[in-house]
């Protein structure tokens, strides 16, 4: 039997991949949008729904970022409400280990697992930095070097709490000193599914030790295979089997009647995602300085990026460019060679469309990724709220089923069971 | 003029079906609100989540979970409750609670014990922060203006810049202003230490009899809604008056207290909502004392004024000046 593909639905988030300017784009906050996407995913027999977390609104040039979607609900509250309108779909959310506390978060996740009948999943992230801290009692207290320590001790602490079956605990480590009665009996999954997105060596090691799945950023097939091998090879030393950790990259797709039609649609979507204003803003994220005087339809700046990583122009988002000068040189060369404007270049270099073509071609490519160990499945990031997955569910899922690589009904009662995890 | 009716649920079930059954009964009977008890360390589910779990399956009843201000981050409280308002389409409330229990503090491990007065004062700050965050987006902040490429008008988002003795919060919220603007804030108040300190919309008071209820109503600011708590069944030792008798006798008591004291309504502490909805509610309706509200938001049901956004009001003043 071929490997079975894992599929998840990412609720479109607060970055420029979400196209709000399209007339079909619906509300980013009405519960109806969340319900619609979750029900679509469940109709498509997806493994889980995924929602990211907001802790502070993004800022650029010291102002609240206004070009992308802004605002989102509280993660755990929406996931719990979605349990009321779905029956089988896993409910996964990002919850930050820096800005939550283990007792409270473990209790919420265990409550979600109970109230959903075993469908809870937690994407563990950490963030250092005073920027988010300004919204919280304790402020920016976490040293960058301590973020994996915090994450690891947080996960270990949460697992200890879940294992108490509601009983007594006493935990003391470098981050936490807590004791008492947990109060939540063992939930249907025992412990919620743990996802993790860290990509550094420390992040991979943490995933190998504790995670059930990795929300990966590796899309190119060769790169994805290297990542897959690297992470899976780390499992043995923790006594874990290879299939106990699933690799699931976040990907986008565009479907068309023909491959050419799909390419044309993809280009249209990219232009929607990168308005002239957004092009300048994305360029500023590399240049790290105010470029509002530049014309998006004109050439790239001839000044160099500003190298001050302690005072970046964008706040509330992870750093994306380790070597600003090298990347800027690369972008300039590319723009010059192909006579690209700022906007055209940004459309090219920030492109995140991974699978473009007819439903048959997309199904074939997704299957190839999974069967050749580039990944175990996909978190689909659609560009339209809330109907962005309709075409995939209607046109691609049946083809995956025909290939024998995707379920035709939910087999297990819990998310853990559907993912093939013990 | 109709009295308001609420039930207080204190169950510890982790089965969603138990909660759905109870809250649906309240919803179908036209009760104004249900409160969900909670404390850290108890055996039982998180109350905000229980409210969220039943929200999509009910249509009218207000959903008012207990959430404690002593340990939970004010920012998380604000966004969770705003989200409850979104998923319930305008039916969210919040029963504020403080915790003086060192055992609860040990579960979180972040703070030593503080005196009750200090915790209540801090709860006042938390209510202020939570409400400022709810107001930090003006209702028309999302503009989706394709010509300028802007999703929001950032002039309609506001930093709250709260600074108090125990914490600071910058804002704005991550959640757009919820349907009610400001969900209903309630508190259990045994005496003036709470009702004089906390700026709640609703107080649940615990009178011993009708005259005591009247005294409490007189002591509380007139714009507040006052609900008298009565424990029905009387099996648990309680801080509120207990009632044990027939539904008709309970209707008599409610009628008497309501006429004498001027309370706005009653919150019946029950173990099974059916004890209220099966016989008592029809009896109160027959007597013309209770009529389910036609309104869809909890604020409207309770007759609370429209929540004017403090920041929007300020922008208008500024533009006039």
Q: What is the pLDDT of residues A199-252, one digit of tens each?
A: 889 889 999 999 999 999 898 999 999 999 999 999 999 999 999 999 999 999
How far is A132 from chain B, CA to nearest CA, in Å?
9
Q: How confident is the model at residue A198 (pLDDT cuts 50, 70, 90)?
A: confident
Average pLDDT, chain A: 94
pTM above 0.90, yes or no: yes
pLDDT for the residue B318 = 60
How many angstroms separate the CA atoms of B292 and B319, rounded? 42
The residue ranking higher by pLDDT, B167 or A310, is B167
Polymer length of chain B: 321
Structural domain for B213, as ranges? 4-320
Q: Which of B41, B56, B80 sits opposite A31 (nearest CB)?
A: B56
Q: Considering only CB atoms, which chain A residues are within 8 Å of B41?
A: 180-181, 183
pLDDT for the residue A313 = 76
User: Is A180–B41 a contact, with Cβ atoms under 8 angstroms apart?
Assistant: yes
Q: How confident is the model at residue A148 (pLDDT cuts 50, 70, 90)?
A: confident
Q: How confident is the model at residue A319 (pLDDT cuts 50, 70, 90)?
A: low
Ordered DSSP codes for B46-91: -HHHHHHHHGGG-SSSEEEEEEETTTS-HHHHHHHHHHHHHHTTS-
- Percentages helix, strand, coil for chain B (3-state, rounded to 5) are 40, 20, 40
CA-nearest residue to B87 within chain A is A31
User: Could you state, in order of their start, the residue ranges of all structural domains in chain A?
Assistant: 6-257+353-418, 275-349
pLDDT greater than 80 at residue A183: yes
- Name the range with the highest mean pLDDT among A8-17, A319-328, B85-94: B85-94
Q: What is the pLDDT of residues A289-305, one digit of tens each?
A: 999 999 999 999 989 99
Q: Which of A39, A53, A55, A71 to mutate to test the interface with B (most CBs of B within 10 A)?
A: A71
In angstroms, the Cα distances linking A376 to A4, A246, B21, B119, B236 are 8, 6, 40, 50, 53
pLDDT greater than 70 at residue A399: yes
Return the closest-CA partner of residue A141 out of A152, A131, A130, A125. A130
pLDDT for the residue B321 = 47
Interface of B with A in 76-135 (CB under 8 A): 76, 79-80, 82-84, 86-87, 89, 103-104, 106-110
Overall number of domains in chain B: 1
User: Is B107–A178 a contact, with Cβ atoms under 8 angstroms apart?
Assistant: yes
Return the closest-CA partner of residue A36 out of A7, A14, A12, A15. A12
| Residues A7 and A389 sit within 8 Å (Cβ to Cβ) | no
What number is the average pLDDT over the span A253-262?
97
The residue ranking higher by pLDDT, A111 or A350, is A111
User: Is B108–A178 a contact, with Cβ atoms under 8 angstroms apart?
Assistant: yes
Q: Which of B57, B77, B109 to mutate to test the interface with A (most CBs of A within 10 A)?
A: B109
What number is the average pLDDT over the span A385-391?
97
Q: Considering only CB atoms, which chain B residues are within 8 Å of A20?
A: 144, 151
* Domain A6-257+353-418 belongs in CATH node 3.40.50.1010: no
- In angstroms, the first-to-last Cα distance of chain B is 42
> Which residues in chain B show pLDDT less than 70?
234-237, 314-321
pLDDT greater than 90 at residue A347: yes
Secondary structure of residue A234 in the 3-state scheme:
coil
How many angstroms separate the CA atoms of A295 and A342, rounded? 8
User: Is A85–B56 a contact, with Cβ atoms under 8 angstroms apart?
Assistant: yes
How far is A166 from chain B, CA to nearest CA, in Å?
7
CATH label of the domain that carries residue B263? 3.20.20.30
Interface of A with B in 208-237 (CB under 8 A): none
């Amino acid at each position: 039997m071929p490997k079975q593909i894992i599929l998840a639905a990412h609720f479109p988030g607060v970055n420029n991949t979400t196209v709000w300017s399209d007339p079909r784009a619906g509300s980013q906050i009405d519960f109806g949008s969340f319900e619609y996407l979750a029900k679509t995913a469940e109709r498509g027999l997806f493994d889980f729904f995924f929602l990211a977390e907001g802790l502070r609104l993004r800022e650029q040039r010291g102002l609240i970022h206004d070009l992308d979607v802004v605002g989102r609900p509280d993660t755990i509250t929406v996931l719990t409400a979605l349990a009321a309108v779905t029956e089988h779909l896993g409910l996964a959310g990002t919850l930050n280990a820096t800005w939550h506390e283990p007792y409270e978060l473990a209790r919420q996740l265990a409550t979600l697992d109970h109230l959903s009948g075993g469908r809870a999943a937690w994407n563990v992230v950490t963030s250092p930095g005073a920027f988010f801290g300004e919204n919280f009692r304790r402020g920016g207290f976490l040293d960058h070097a301590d973020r994996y320590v915090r994450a690891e001790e947080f996960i270990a602490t949460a697992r200890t709490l879940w294992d108490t079956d509601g009983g007594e605990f006493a935990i003391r480590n470098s981050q936490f000193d807590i004791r008492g009665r947990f109060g939540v009996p063992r939930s249907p999954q025992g412990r919620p599914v743990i996802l993790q997105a860290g990509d550094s060596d420390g992040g991979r090691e943490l995933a190998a030790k504790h995670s059930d799945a990795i929300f990966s950023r590796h899309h190119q097939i060769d790169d994805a295979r290297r990542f897959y091998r690297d992470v899976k090879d780390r499992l043995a030393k923790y006594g874990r089997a290879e299939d106990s950790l699933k690799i699931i990259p976040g990907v986008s797709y565009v479907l068309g009647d023909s491959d050419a039609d799909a390419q044309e649609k993809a280009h249209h979507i990219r232009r929607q995602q990168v308005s002239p204003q957004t092009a300048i803003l994305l360029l500023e994220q590399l240049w790290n300085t105010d470029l509002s005087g530049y014309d998006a339809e004109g050439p790239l700046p001839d000044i160099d990026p500003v190298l001050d990583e302690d005072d970046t122009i964008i706040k509330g988002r992870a750093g994306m460019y380790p070597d600003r000068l090298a990347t800027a040189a690369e972008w300039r060369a590319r723009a010059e060679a192909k006579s690209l404007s700022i906007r055209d270049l940004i459309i090219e270099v920030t492109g995140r469309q991974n699978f473009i073509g007819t439903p048959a071609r997309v199904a074939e490519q997704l299957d190839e990724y999974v069967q050749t160990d580039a990944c175990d499945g996909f978190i689909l990031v659609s560009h339209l709220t809330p109907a962005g997955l309709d075409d995939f569910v209607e046109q691609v899922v049946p083809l995956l089923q025909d290939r024998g690589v995707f379920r035709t009904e939910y087999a297990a009662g819990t998310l853990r069971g559907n993912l093939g995890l013990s | 003029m109709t009295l308001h009716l609420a039930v207080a649920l204190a169950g510890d079930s982790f089965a969603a079906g138990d909660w759905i059954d109870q809250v649906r009964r309240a919803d179908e009977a036209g009760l104004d609100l249900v409160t969900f008890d909670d404390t850290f360390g108890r055996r039982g589910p998180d109350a905000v989540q229980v409210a969220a779990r039943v929200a999509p399956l009910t249509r009218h009843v207000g959903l008012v979970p207990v959430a404690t201000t002593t340990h939970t981050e004010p920012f998380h409280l604000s966004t969770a409750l705003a989200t409850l308002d979104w998923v319930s389409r305008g039916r969210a409330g919040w029963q504020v609670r403080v915790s003086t229990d060192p055992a609860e503090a040990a579960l979180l491990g972040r703070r030593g014990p503080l005196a009750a007065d200090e915790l209540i004062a801090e709860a006042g700050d938390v209510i202020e922060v939570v409400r400022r965050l709810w107001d930090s987006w003006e209702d028309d902040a999302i503009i989706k203006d394709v010509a300028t490429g802007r999703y929001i008008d950032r002039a309609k988002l506001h930093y709250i810049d709260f600074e108090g003795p125990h914490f600071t919060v910058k804002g704005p919220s991550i959640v757009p202003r919820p349907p009610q603007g400001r969900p209903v804030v309630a508190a259990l108040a045994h005496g003036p230490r709470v009702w004089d300190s906390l700026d709640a919309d609703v107080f649940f008071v615990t009178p011993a009899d009708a005259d005591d209820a009247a005294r409490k109503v007189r002591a509380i600011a007139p714009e507040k809604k006052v609900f008298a708590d009565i424990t029905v069944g009387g099996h648990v030792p309680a801080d509120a008056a207990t009632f044990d008798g027939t539904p008709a006798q309970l209707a008599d008591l409610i009628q008497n207290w309501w006429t004498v004291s001027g309370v706005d309504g009653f919150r019946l502490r029950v173990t099974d909502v059916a004890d209220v909805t099966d016989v008592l509610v029809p009896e109160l309706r027959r007597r013309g004392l209770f009529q389910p509200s036609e309104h869809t938001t909890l604020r409207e049901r309770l007759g609370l004024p429209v929540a004017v956004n403090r920041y929007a009001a300020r922008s208008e003043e500024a533009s006039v000046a």
